[in-house]
Every structure is written in C-alpha cells, then in structure tokens.
Structure 1
Amino acid sequence: MDAVVSSQLNFGDILFLHVRGEKRELEIQKTDKIIGLTISDNGIGKCFVKKIRPGSAADLARPAVAEGMHIERINDVDMVGKRHYDVALFLRELPIGSTVKLRLICPFENGLTKINPRQEGISSPKIGDNGAMTIRFKANGSAVVQQVAEPNKEKEGEVPAEIVAAINKLFEEYIGCSDEELSRSVCEVAAMSNTPVEMVTKLRETELASFSFPDELVFDLYGLYSDIKSGRGIPVKQ
C-alpha cells in the first residue's frame, strides 16, 4: 500500500488494484485496546485494511479478514466518507470484551489479465542497490523496464525519514492507522514546540486540530520525537 501513493513503482513493490468484489460480514471479539488492524485510506473516503498485527484478534479471524479489504461498516455504522484516523479511533474506543461486527468489501481477485505475457528471449535487467528500476505499462498492455533517477536526498530543513517512520509506527501501535504525511506534519509541529503542553496547544492551532488527538498520545509523540532528536532513540540520518 505504501507504493500506491508514491510517484513510481519499483521492483519488489506490490500494486493493489481494488476492484469491488463480494461483501463479507464477520464478528470479532475485542480482547485488547486495538483489534490488530492497521488502516489506510485512498483520500476519497474509503478505508482499507493495510496490515494485520500477528497474534491479534483480527489475525485470528483470517482468512475472513485480509489485507486490501475495504471497511464499509462497523457495528452498523457507515464508514464510507471517513478518514483512516476516524475509523481507527472508532475501533479503539469500542469497549474491550465487546463484539465488533465488520462489513468488508473483498477486492475482486482476478489478476492483471490484460497484461501481455513475458516474451521469450528477453532477460531481466540488473536491479541496482537503490532499486532505481521501474516498470512502465503501455496502452497496448505491454510493459517495459526503464532506469529512473536516484531518489533525491533529504533537503535541508526536512524531517528525517527515520523520525517520520518512528512517529508513524507509534500511530499504528496506539490507534491502528498509518499515514506518513500525517506523521510528517506532526513532526513539524513537534519541532516548533519546546514542551509537550506547547505541542498540544500548537496542534489545536493548525489544520491537525480536526483529528482531536488525545493529550496522552501527543505527550507520547513529543517524547518520541525528542528522544530521537537528542540521540536517545533511533539514529538520525546525517
């Protein structure tokens, strides 16, 4: 799912083309604060299962629930039009021990049937260490491999990718949603704050106020950001 929102697809990436398939309803017993679903959205009001945490209640419900499924309703509440954060928070706030009723839309699994088969005699090109090879699909169904430029290094003043990834992981663990752009925006607010209380105030003054982050989560986000910046957390790229 990460590759879908990027500007190119590299070898090793998986492309999910979600064609609406059958509806599926199931019930999951909530045994922890989160049921184990990491949720992402497509930016136009549809949320999907991005990951399933091993050993979680959702993991025990496999194969009834799987990555790539669209979450349409939870406990008869319509989730269409909501953001991934809203859906994840809705699941988190359900009482532990309660039964969670999910209505999911399975993707139509029929493969990329319109792509021409690989021609014999054409060898695969060598893939560089930076993965800078990409596949381009033509209108006639054929595919060609092209070399692409090496990704640009981080610009001065940008939040290092390691910090964004760590903040995003905290969102996944605390709520169950994954969004690098959201994590990057939160990092930028943390960088302008001197204390967690100040970060709470600044978040309420930005567009991020609509997320209504719990103070507990903001304190954890600020603490993680501060630890990494001071060298107590994961190493920061120089």
Structure 2
Amino acid sequence: MDRLLGGQIGLDDFICVHRKGQRKELEMTKTDQYLGLTITDNGNGYAFIKKVKEGSAAHQIKFIEAGDHIEKINNESMVGLRHFEVAKTLKDIELGSTFIIRLIEPFKNSFQSIGPRSESRKSSPSIAYGSGKETLRIRKKGPPVVESMPTEVVRAALEKINSLLESFMGINDNDLANEILDLGQQKSNPHDFVMAIDNSDLKEFGFSDNFIFDLWGAVTDAKAGRLAKI
C-alpha cells in the first residue's frame, strides 16, 4: 500500500484502479499543529491520504481512512494540486480553528461480480518481465526510466529523510527525498547544503534552518553508513 500510494510501483506489482465511492464531509477542530495525516498524490491532480497516525487528531475521527481522496478543504477545491500543496493548506489553518474537509473514499466492492477470465485457447508461455527488484519511474520531464532498487544505505537515508518530511509537512515523497539526498551527496559541509537548497526549487517549501540541518544530519549519517546499521 505504501508503494502504491507513494507512486513507487515495481515492474511485477499488481495495479488496482481507484474508483470514487462515498463522499464524506467532516468538521474538524485543529487542536494540534500536526493533524497526523500523511498525504501523497497520483501525479494527475488527485491527493490521497496515505497514512493516519495512531493517536493523532485525525485518528480520533473514525471516518478518515488511508486511500481517501481529499477533494475540498473549507470549500476550496484541492483537485489539481500536488500533495505538498494540500499539506501546506492544512498546515496554514490556524490552531484552534474549525474547518471542513471533504473526502471521497475508494469504491470497495467493484469486483464482486467479476470472475477470472476463462482460457479459451492455449496459453502462450509466460515471459518474466523484470526481477521484481526494479522500479519504473515516470517523471513529468524526460522519458520513463527503470531504476534498480537502492542500496541499503540509500534506502535507509530515504526512509530517514521521508520521516523528517512527514514530521515537518505531513508528506512522504520518495522523489523529493531523492532530490534532497542527491543535493546532500554533492556537498561537503552544511553551509553548502543550505545554499544548494536555497538555490533550488526546494526553497518553495520554506524549510527552516533547523529542519535543513536535520536533513543534513540524515545525509551525513547515510554517508558514514550509520543509518544502515540501525
């Protein structure tokens, strides 16, 4: 589910279609700076809830579930926005204020009446595509590319950076984490790393200095191999 909702789909992964189901309009009061929602999107203008943190304000509302599409916040459409833009909208809501969020849950019973396809002719020999250890990445710019799965060191670094992103903005994005890691690997000190972020598209996120130093800590731990040992 994490890979499906995060856009990291392996060559041998089974892909399901998300059909719109029941709309849910919920009134929430922002009692904490972080609502406990991890948000992702499908790259086509639809943001989804990827995870609901246990014990959080959002978790207390039983109707909010992973897989729900965020359609509107306070009557403002979220369709067409990236996940970090939706997360920023939620983050900018004043503490203590009440807001309305409209969700659309996935249709859960789409295939009850569908059975397996009958084999009317002799099946051709199956061909194995990929090793299951590769990922097809489709980006907005450039052709699709097949990438090998990262080493344990890089994987651990991406998990740490994603964890920091989740705590700061409530998003979890491997492409964004990869971009941060790539910038960090090219720099030898935190000052150059800060300057690299300030001179890149990442400056639009408004990362605080303390947060950037936390990211640098994850990068240096990865370089030293400390994260892979945890």
Superposition TM-score, scaled by structure 2 size: 0.77
Structure 2 letter corresponding to 1:81: G
Aligned pairs for 1:1-238 (under 5 A) are 1-4=1-4, 5=7, 6-10=9-13, 16-62=16-62, 64-113=63-112, 115-117=114-116, 149=131, 151=133, 160-235=154-229
Change in CA separation of 1:73 and 1:150 when aligned onto 2, cut-off 3 Å: closer
Change in CA separation of 1:223 and 1:25 when aligned onto 2, cut-off 3 Å: same
Q: Does the 8 A contact of 2:157 with 2:227 survive in 1? A: no
Q: How many residues align?
A: 209
Superposition TM-score, scaled by structure 1 size: 0.74
RMSD: 3.1
Change in CA separation of 1:117 and 1:175 when aligned onto 2, cut-off 3 Å: same
Secondary structure of the residue that 1:199 maps to in structure 2?
Answer: helix
Q: Does the 8 A contact of 1:41 with 1:83 survive in 2? A: yes
Moved more, 73-82 or 45-54: 73-82
Q: Does the 8 A contact of 2:46 with 2:82 survive in 1? A: yes
Distance in 1, Cα, partners of 2:86 & 2:61: 19
Change in CA separation of 1:155 and 1:203 when aligned onto 2, cut-off 3 Å: same
Q: Show structure 1 runs of 5+ residues with no match.
A: 120-137, 139-144
Q: Does the 8 A contact of 1:159 with 1:184 survive in 2? A: no
Structure 2 letter corresponding to 1:110: N
Change in CA separation of 1:227 and 1:108 when aligned onto 2, cut-off 3 Å: same
Change in CA separation of 1:54 and 1:78 when aligned onto 2, cut-off 3 Å: same
Structure richer in helix, relative to its length: 2
| Partner of residue 145, structure 2 | none
Instruction: Kindly provide the CA deviation profile for residues 20-49 of structure 1, in whole angstroms up to 9, marking residues without a partner as x.
Output: 123211122222221011000010111000
Q: Does the 8 A contact of 2:30 with 2:94 survive in 1? A: yes
